[in-house]
């Protein structure tokens, strides 16, 4: 995936071949996990013969791209929602990210894909699948990007942006659960500065709309 850190790189976690971990005997639970994981990966690989559900760049015999799932499972929508045929017809969404965090760009594109599913499509190798998807109704989506904030910035309890984010989360929950019988506002994409003031996204945030290799792992 493209990233705020480097547009040409992906989050790659190589096999661990050295370090203190190799000094410990592998547990039975770990062995069972690897066996089940390998069986599931093979099952998914067979299903990928047609129609294709992931890009050939996912095939990495030299190791995993992520620790939490086999490469073959990365295109499953429950694992990587960005790669779903459509993000329409979801429950109301509140997406929050810091302007200085690695997941910012993905959050911006995800928000637009859910709020405007007919305009912002998924991976190129899934072309044509959106038209067949029953989930094409726009999802009510609120995106909030907080100026100068890192990942999980809400842990900085006394910062203005943290306070504002908690307030917005509470407001969203109340509206989404209809506690106060108030309808959700229309979908919106917001930039919140360090004073807690709201405004539109900046021009630099729009570069994500030029992504051409969604779901393709750089070689």
Tens digits of pLDDT across the chain (219 residues)? 333 344 443 333 333 444 444 445 667 777 787 788 778 778 877 766 666 677 888 887 777 777 777 787 787 888 888 888 889 999 999 999 999 998 999 999 999 999 999 998 788 777 777 888 888 899 999 999 999 999 999 998 889 999 999 999 999 998 888 877 778 889 999 999 999 999 999 999 999 998 888 888 877
User: Could you tell me whether strands 93-98 and 141-146 are parallel, antiparallel, or unpaired per DSSP bridges?
Assistant: parallel
Q: How far is CA 162 from CA 34, 50, 111, 155, 185, in A?
A: 40, 46, 21, 7, 22
> What backbone phi and psi angles, to 5 degrees, belong to 96?
-125, 135
Token pair of 219, please? Answer: 């070689």
Dihedral (C-alpha) 70, 134, 179, 199: value to the nearest 10 degrees?
80
141 burial class (0-12, 13-18, 19+ CB within 10 angstroms)?
buried
183: left (phi over 0), alpha (psi -120 to 50) or beta: beta
C-alpha dihedral sign at 125, 131, 134, 139:
positive
């Amino acid at each position: 995936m493209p990233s705020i850190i480097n547009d040409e790189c992906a989050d790659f976690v190589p096999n661990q071949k050295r370090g203190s971990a190799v000094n410990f005997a592998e547990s039975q639970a770990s062995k069972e996990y690897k066996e089940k994981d390998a069986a599931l990966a093979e099952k998914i690989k067979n299903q990928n013969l047609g129609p294709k559900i992931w890009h050939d760049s996912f095939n990495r015999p030299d190791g995993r791209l992520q620790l939490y799932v086999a490469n073959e499972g990365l295109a499953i929508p429950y694992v990587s929602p960005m790669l779903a045929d459509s993000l329409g017809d979801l429950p109301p969404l509140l997406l929050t990210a810091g302007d200085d965090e690695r997941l910012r760009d993905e959050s911006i594109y995800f928000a637009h894909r859910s709020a405007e599913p007919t305009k912002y499509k998924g991976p190129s190798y899934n072309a044509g699948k959106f038209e067949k998807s029953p989930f094409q109704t726009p999802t009510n989506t609120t995106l909030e990007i907080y100026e100068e904030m890192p990942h999980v910035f809400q842990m900085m309890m006394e910062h203005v942006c943290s306070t504002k984010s908690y307030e917005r989360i509470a407001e969203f929950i109340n509206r989404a659960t209809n506690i106060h019988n108030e309808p959700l506002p229309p979908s919106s994409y917001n930039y919140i500065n360090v004073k807690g003031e709201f405004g539109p996204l900046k021009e630099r945030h729009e570069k994500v709309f030029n992504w051409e290799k969604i779901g393709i792992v750089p070689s």
